[in-house]
Amino acid sequence: MAGLAGRFARRWFSGLLGSPLQVPALGLHVRGPAMLASQKDFNNAVSQVKLLKEDPGNEVKLKLYALYKQATEGPCNVPKPGMLDFINKTKWDAWNALGSLSKEAARQNYVDLVSRLSASSESPSPEAPAADRKQPESDSLVVTSEDGITTIRLNRPAKKNALTTQMYHDIIAALQAASKDESAITVLTGSGDYYCSGNDLTNFTHLPAGGLEEMARSAAALLRDFVNCFIDFPKPLVAVVNGPAVGISVTILGLFDVVYATDRASFHTPFSHLGQSPEGCSSYTFPKIMGSSKAAEMLLFGKKLTAQEACAQGLVTEVFPDGTFQKEVWARLKAYSKLPPNAMRISKQIIRNREKEKLHAVNAEESSVLRERWQSDECMNAIASFLSRKAKL
């Protein structure tokens, strides 16, 4: 069977070399619409592919094919070939896996990839960097890609990895890039002793010209975009919870596929203490995961869970002793990252897709309620209290 499939593949891929090829970009490249590749850039890239000195390999050619189709025809719109039509089914699967990626983004990815392929086939034999990825705007987030795993690391240990406004933007950009890069699995983790202490409460002190109302409006819009990225993320998403987690870093865990935690971790959502209300779709995912009364204890009364409790309630997949946490978790993730990436994506789609519409509606509602909450006296007083060092969780 393998021989038969291999023969089919060789025939088909050799045919492909004469046609337009493209691969998703390997680096972080989130650009505004004005900076996307033009049709002329795309046409040039299509011609350049035919001049490549080295055969980029079947997997890359398949990606080039899929991106070319997406860039020229949009999302896959033809019937799925039959099971025995191996070649056309493989091509169809690759095109279909690009989902609703816009023509412009596909065109850009095609151009970026061809430019990387051309560069690498021209330079003698550059050592591939371990972390082949452009870094985000601030040092507070570090994104690396290695062994089939893209890791997004919160890197503000002195502030317990509290999330600044810039970090929300950078995480959105990193997730968008990771959804299209070569990795099979994406991981979110923290540096230092905390996983994340949630929203940086000083975010609320930078009042724009429009005052509190404008601040609440733009924070709600950012929150909605941020959570949407987790809802829509197409690949396996794993949280490696290396220490205590607070606020939004806990609520979004319901949108991850797997959550590994050190036994030092705790899970705390003190929204009432802060005059706020749940976000990250937790008002929907938590009752589903742990039942409504356990969810209420966390989300209304701010009950802090130990790692073992969070695991017993289904929020955490598995707890590891702190001493061996990193070693055990990364060894396991490396093994998982070798599994066929398309199969993992498709399985995730089946598991998650029927919930997506609901999750988007929940996210919109939670963001709009918070927009009001952030303008309330209860919330303002709680933040002022933290900032004046009177209150700590």
Ligand X SMILES: CCCCCC/C=C/C(=O)SCCNC(=O)CCNC(=O)[C@H](O)C(C)(C)COP(=O)(O)OP(=O)(O)OC[C@H]1O[C@@H](n2cnc3c(N)ncnc32)[C@H](O)[C@@H]1OP(=O)(O)O
Q: Which stretch binds ligand X (CB under 6 A): 33-41, 88-96, 194-202, 294-302?
A: 194-202
Which residue's CB is nearer to ligand X, number 22 or number 276?
276
Q: Are 359 and 211 within 8 A, CB to CB?
A: no
Which tokens belong to 234?
């197409």
Total residues found in the chain within this entry: 393
How many residues touch ligand X (CB under 6 A)?
A: 23
Q: Is position 224 an interface residue for ligand X (rule: CB under 6 A)?
A: no
Please give the Cα distance from 19 to 281 (Å, whole number): 44
Return the range that interacts with ligand X (CB under 6 A); candidates 22-30, 88-96, 116-124, 246-254.
246-254
Q: Cβ(290)–Cβ(297) under 8 Å?
A: no
Given candidates 136, 198, 236, 243, which one binds ligand X under the rule CB under 6 A?
Answer: 198
Q: Which residue has the tokens 């033809």?
A: 78
Which one of 97, 105, 177, 248 is in contact with ligand X (CB under 6 A)? 248
Closest distance to ligand X from the beta carbon of 219 (Å): 4
The answer to whether the CB of 140 falls within 8 A of the CB of 170 is yes
Residue of 155, 189, 199, 277 that binds ligand X (CB under 6 A) = 199
If binding is defined by CB under 6 A, does position 363 make contact with ligand X?
no
Q: Distance between CA 172 and CA 176 in Å, rounded?
A: 6
User: Can you tell me which of 246, 310, 329, 344 binds ligand X, judged by CB under 6 A?
Assistant: 246
According to CB under 6 A, which one of 118, 135, 191, 202 is a site residue for ligand X? 202
Considering the complex, state which of residue 222 and residue 296 has its C-beta at the smaller distance from ligand X.
Answer: 222
Among 95, 168, 256, 267, the residue binding ligand X under the rule CB under 6 A is: 168
Long-range contacts of 358-363 (CB under 8 A, 24+ apart): 358/284, 359/231, 359/255, 359/281, 359/284, 359/285, 360/228, 360/231, 362/281, 362/283, 362/284, 363/224, 363/227, 363/228, 363/231, 363/279, 363/280, 363/281
Query: Between residue 364 and residue 393, which ones bind ligand X under the rule CB under 6 A?
Result: 386, 392-393
Angle at 282 between CA 278 and CA 159, to 5 degrees: 65
Counting contacts by CB under 6 A, is residue 160 touching ligand X? Answer: yes
Quick one: tokens of 170? 């950078």
**For the chain, how far is it from start to end, CA to CA, in angstroms?**
60
Min dist. Cβ of residue 224 to ligand X (A): 9
Binders of ligand X among 265-284, rule CB under 6 A?
A: 274, 276, 279
Q: Is 222 near ligand X (CB under 6 A)?
A: yes
Q: Which of 56, 247, 254, 341 binds ligand X (CB under 6 A)?
A: 247
Cα angle 249, 152, 197; round to 5? 25
Residue 159 found at the interface with ligand X (CB under 6 A): yes
Closest CB 193 distance from ligand X, rounded Å: 8
In angstroms, what is the minimal distance from the CB of 366 to ligand X? 9
Going along 139-214, which residue ranges are E strands? Answer: 141-146, 149-154, 185-190
Nearest in space to 199 (alpha carbons), one of 166, 231, 152: 166
Whole-number minimum distance, CB 367 to ligand X, in Å? 9
Query: Which residues of this chain interact with ligand X, rule CB under 6 A?
Result: 159-160, 162, 168, 197-203, 219, 222-223, 246-248, 274, 276, 279, 386, 392-393
